[in-house]
Amino acid sequence: MKQKFFSKEEFNEVGHGGIEQYGAMSYKPGFAINPLKFLLGIANAAKNAGVKIFQKSKVIKIEKSKGKFIIISNGSIIKANKVVMATNGFYKDDIFPKLNNMILPVISNIIITRPLTTEEIKSHNFITNNPVLNIRNLLFYYRLLKDNRFLFGARGDLVGSEKSSLEKSKNMELQMKKVFPNWNNVNIDFHWRGLIAITTKFSPSIGKIEDDEIYYSFGYQANGVNTAPWSGNELAKLIVSNSKNLNISKLYKGLPSKFPFPKLRLFYLKLVLAYYKYMDKN
């Protein structure tokens, strides 16, 4: 990893300005991608290799009969010798009881502005198209897209309804405009959100459930765009080769411990967020 440090003035020349710019650190490798294009590329490669992909097939239950998995989805039943849990933050406890109480799903939220004019971009010296993270505990992540729209992301709301998502997006718009005040009159064209998976291990968990043909890969702690496909590749080697070992860091191998008193997961999250919010203000 190659790092480079920039003073406030230096970063103003190559990165951006704004109210909360105090200097920066960059590291390689690292660059932005369009995750949807990436996903469609992987799906196409899988299809070309003969994989059948079924969309809109939510798995409701998995049972076992005569050594085979009976996978019940809305509308169809599939029989399989092996199954992989790869639903990350969207995992709902009880589909695989041995994986229960290990994931804290957290909402991450994104807003996107209308395309900025050249003047508006210049007004904050926004030069880089690289993704930027600030160093708040509850950090903002942002980047200038190729069509000059500005993408701004932060932790999402705690409710998960359409209303709470809209409120959170409005709130994030205020936060964004506080950091980049010259964009006060810029409208937000899009907002969306999704779930990321936090675990007690704070690192991905990849492996196989002992004495069963259930494989898993989850817990990317909000950094799964590159890690999830890499994990999938490593897991595939384990599944296809029937080898007992994954040739990966010990940190990633095996399951995380369960959350203590798992029903309190949302409460724990609220406590941590309140603490971080307080720290970020001071």
Ligand X SMILES: Cc1cc2nc3c(=O)[nH]c(=O)nc-3n(C[C@H](O)[C@H](O)[C@H](O)COP(=O)(O)OP(=O)(O)OC[C@H]3O[C@@H](n4cnc5c(N)ncnc54)[C@H](O)[C@@H]3O)c2cc1C
Nearer to ligand X, 12 or 199 (CB): 199
Residues 59-88 that bind ligand X (CB under 6 A): 59, 86-88
Is residue 110 involved in binding ligand X (CB under 6 A)?
yes
Question: Shortest Cβ distance from residue 157 to ligand X (Å)?
Answer: 12
Number of residues that bind ligand X (CB under 6 A): 22
Residue 3 β-bridge partners: 27
Nearer to ligand X, 112 or 222 (CB): 222
Nearer to ligand X, 140 or 220 (CB): 220
| Residue in 99, 196, 246, 255 binding ligand X, rule: CB under 6 A | 196
Question: Shortest Cβ distance from residue 141 to ligand X (Å)?
Answer: 6
Write the interaction track for ligand X spanning residues 221-240; mark x where CB under 6 A is met and - where it is not. -xxxxx-x------------
Is residue 203 involved in binding ligand X (CB under 6 A)?
no
Nearer to ligand X, 123 or 221 (CB): 221
Q: Which residues bind ligand X (CB under 6 A)?
A: 58-59, 86-90, 108-110, 141, 153, 193-194, 196, 220, 222-226, 228
